[in-house]
Amino acid sequence: MIFTYDFETGLSDITNEKTIKNKSILRIFEDIASKHSDSIKNGLYDIIDNGFSWVLLEWRLKVEKRPCYGDVLQARTWVRNSTKLYSYRDFEIYVNGERAVCGSSKWICVDISTLRPVKLNEALLEKYLPEPDRNVFGAPEFEKMRELDEYALNIPYAVRKCDIDINGHVHNLNYIDMAYEAFDFEKEPDYAAILYKKEVKYGDPVSIAADENNNGYFAKIYGEKGVNAIIEMR
């Protein structure tokens, strides 16, 4: 099942070139995924009754033609396929009938009482009517993301209260803001990937390690307990 929903770019979504930010694209991905789950009674208001919640592990984003301010974005999403623990969801954004953006994501289900991963329920997955043959990147799984051996830059980051989401930790979209603190982009990168490893809570001391080379921009968010996230952009 392909779930569709229209969005419109506003002032807070754009760069000074009047084109959409990568963070705003990921917000649309996040919102349409939530709306899809809402539509089958597996959304935010259903967490307590169901006893579990979806947790995001990875994003991949590719911009083919960057949408502009005022564009109506025709977003599409579907559950692609799943294993016993992981579920994969893909995305597309169209503007005037032309595909402008595609993306993919990887999720697990977590028991809300134990906060531990649980096996995916086949009956639940069937409600999403998966589209296993629709893969926007053409590869069945995510490429493994790794840290660099060395980073040229390390800067401390003070987690703000506004970084924290309803789950009590840094919201997944705000990690891209943290990575952007380390780079001076002439324009938004057209490809971005984020791997989440450990949550960050308010008051946690974290730093941003960053490096730039011919292959792109690389960052990791890390603290006393290890690496929290790895980000690649190009």
3-127 folds as Thiol Ester Dehydrase; Chain A (3.10.129)
pLDDT tens per residue, range 64-123: 999 999 999 999 999 998 888 899 999 999 999 999 999 999 999 888 888 888 888 888
Domain extents in the chain: 3-127, 153-233
d(CA 167, CA 102) in angstroms, rounded, equals 27
- Residue 170: left if φ>0, alpha if ψ -120 to 50, beta else—which one? beta
Q: Are 173 and 210 in contact (CB under 8 A)?
A: no
Residue 57 binned pLDDT confidence (cut-offs 50, 70, 90): very high
User: In the prediction, which pLDDT does 162 show?
Assistant: 93
Give me the phi and psi of 233, to 5 degrees please: -145, 145
Least confident interval from 33-37, 49-53, 83-87, 182-186 = 49-53
Q: Which 3 state secondary structure label does DSSP give 128? A: coil
Q: Is the pLDDT of residue 36 over 70?
A: yes
d(CA 19, CA 27) in angstroms, rounded, equals 15
User: In the prediction, which pLDDT does 76 show?
Assistant: 98
Host H or E run for residue 3: strand 3-8
User: In the prediction, which pLDDT does 140 show?
Assistant: 65
d(CA 17, CA 15) in angstroms, rounded, equals 5
Q: Is the pLDDT of residue 205 over 80?
A: yes
User: In the prediction, which pLDDT does 19 show?
Assistant: 96
Output 43 or 73, whichever has higher pLDDT: 73
User: In the prediction, which pLDDT does 50 show?
Assistant: 76
Q: Which 3 state secondary structure label does DSSP give 225? A: coil
pLDDT tens per residue, range 6-33: 999 999 999 999 999 999 999 999 999 9
Was domain 153-233 assigned CATH 1.10.2020.10? Answer: no
d(CA 24, CA 58) in angstroms, rounded, equals 16
User: In the prediction, which pLDDT does 73 show?
Assistant: 97
User: In the prediction, which pLDDT does 183 show?
Assistant: 94
The residue ranges of DSSP E strands in 10-152, in sequence order, are 52-63, 72-82, 86-95, 98-111, 117-118
Q: Are 26 and 61 in contact (CB under 8 A)?
A: yes
Q: Are 164 and 194 in contact (CB under 8 A)?
A: no
Domains 3-127 and 153-233 share a fold: yes
Q: Are 81 and 129 in contact (CB under 8 A)?
A: no
